[in-house]
């Protein structure tokens, strides 16, 4: 874990609320949002700049300083992606910048995964995918990395996965859980189709869904859906299933976010 105390996290959140002034350049606006932590700052900056080599260099330095690679996904890479998302949502940077940052982020996630050697024995199989029509796969990749780090055997179907391909993979692999990620209001309805086709085949596997487009209310509208807000919820939901909670209503209750 990074040595981020609650006060530090509050500090980061306060910094995210800064009013970005119109006359600022994008780089100046980004500078306002970076965390001050000496190890996290260069990683967040490299994500914003889309510099993959610098992301890896920053991660190597943090690991050399004793940080756990898997924790750096949430505590460093995600902070950089948070800066990019904020600047994009505020119209300060545009799609080409976001694409470069996303690639740097994905390279960082891969690097952290490759450095995670203390993988426990497999607890069960999980099938992961991004909804049909949706290419946003950063969140899904974090879900996959955290599930693997927590001892799950993951069948990663990738992004923009046709509904029927999800069903075939579930039939072939008999997972303890399926995950879905959707970041667009146009793609999230594929989850309902996955749900219905699984039920048609009599398969009642918990279907954990997350991603910016969906919320608790939406995911609870289909029988197998269990909403997870954070990627870190995915291994927790899987652990609950392995521990014996197979009932969807009980899982929803346990992972309900108020």
Contact 18, 87 (CB under 8 A): no
CA atoms within 13 A on the CB side of 254: 19
Question: Closest CB to ligand B12 among 38 and 253?
Answer: 253
Closest distance between ligand B12 and the C-beta of residue 149, in Å?
14
Nearer to ligand B12, 81 or 166 (CB): 81
Please list, residue by residue across 163-194, b when 16 or more beta carbons sit within 10 angstroms of its beta carbon and e when fewer do. Answer: beebbebbeeeebbbbbbbbbeeebbebbbbb
Residue 70 beta carbon to ligand B12: minimum distance, rounded to whole angstroms: 13
Of the candidate residues 11, 26, 124, 133, the single one contacting ligand B12 (CB under 6 A): 133
- Give the SS3 label for residue 178: strand
- Give Cβ neighbours of residue 7 (< 8 Å, ≥ 6 apart): none
156 is an interface residue for ligand B12 by CB under 6 A: no
- For residues 152 and 158, what is the distance between their CA atoms, to the nearest angstrom? 17
- 216 is written with which tokens? 């608790």
Write each residue from 63 to 102 as x if it is in contact with ligand B12 (CB under 6 A), else as -, in one continuous string: ------------------x---x--xx-----x--xx--x
Cα 34 from Cα 36, distance rounded (Å)? 6
- Minimum gap (Å) between residue 180 Cβ and ligand B12: 7
Stretch that binds ligand B12, among 3-11, 40-48, 64-72, 128-136 (CB under 6 A): 128-136
Among 44, 138, 219, 248, binds ligand B12 (CB under 6 A): 138
Which residue from 13, 18, 122, 135 is in contact with ligand B12, where contact means CB under 6 A?
135
Q: Which residues pair with residue 124 across a beta bridge?
A: 152
Residues near ligand B12 (CB under 6 A): 81, 85, 88-89, 95, 98-99, 102, 133-140, 142-143, 179, 181, 183-186, 208-213, 228, 230-231, 233-234
């Amino acid at each position: 874990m990074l040595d981020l105390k609650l006060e530090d996290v509050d500090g980061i959140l306060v910094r995210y609320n800064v009013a970005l002034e119109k006359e600022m350049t994008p780089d100046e606006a980004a500078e306002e949002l970076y965390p001050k932590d000496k190890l996290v700052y260069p990683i967040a900056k490299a994500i914003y700049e889309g510099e993959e080599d610098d992301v890896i260099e920053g991660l190597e330095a943090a690991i050399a300083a004793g940080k756990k690679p898997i924790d750096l996904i949430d505590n460093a890479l995600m902070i950089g992606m948070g800066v990019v998302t904020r600047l994009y949502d505020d119209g300060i940077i545009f799609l080409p910048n976001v694409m470069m940052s996303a690639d740097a982020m994905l390279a960082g996630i891969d690097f952290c995964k490759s450095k995670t050697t203390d993988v426990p024995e497999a607890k069960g199989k999980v099938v992961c995918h991004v909804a049909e029509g949706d290419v946003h796969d950063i969140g899904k990749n974090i879900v996959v990395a955290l599930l693997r780090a927590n001892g799950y055997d993951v069948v990663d179907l990738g992004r923009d996965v046709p509904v029927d391909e999800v069903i075939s993979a579930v039939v072939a692999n008999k997972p303890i859980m399926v995950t879905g990620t959707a970041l667009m209001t146009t793609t999230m309805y594929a989850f309902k189709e996955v749900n219905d086709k699984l039920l048609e085949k009599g398969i009642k596997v918990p279907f954990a869904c997350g991603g910016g487009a969906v919320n608790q209310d939406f995911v609870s509208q289909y029988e197998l859906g269990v909403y997870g807000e954070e990627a870190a919820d995915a291994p927790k939901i899987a652990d609950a299933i392995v521990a014996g909670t197979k009932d969807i209503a009980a899982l929803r209750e346990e992972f309900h976010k108020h």
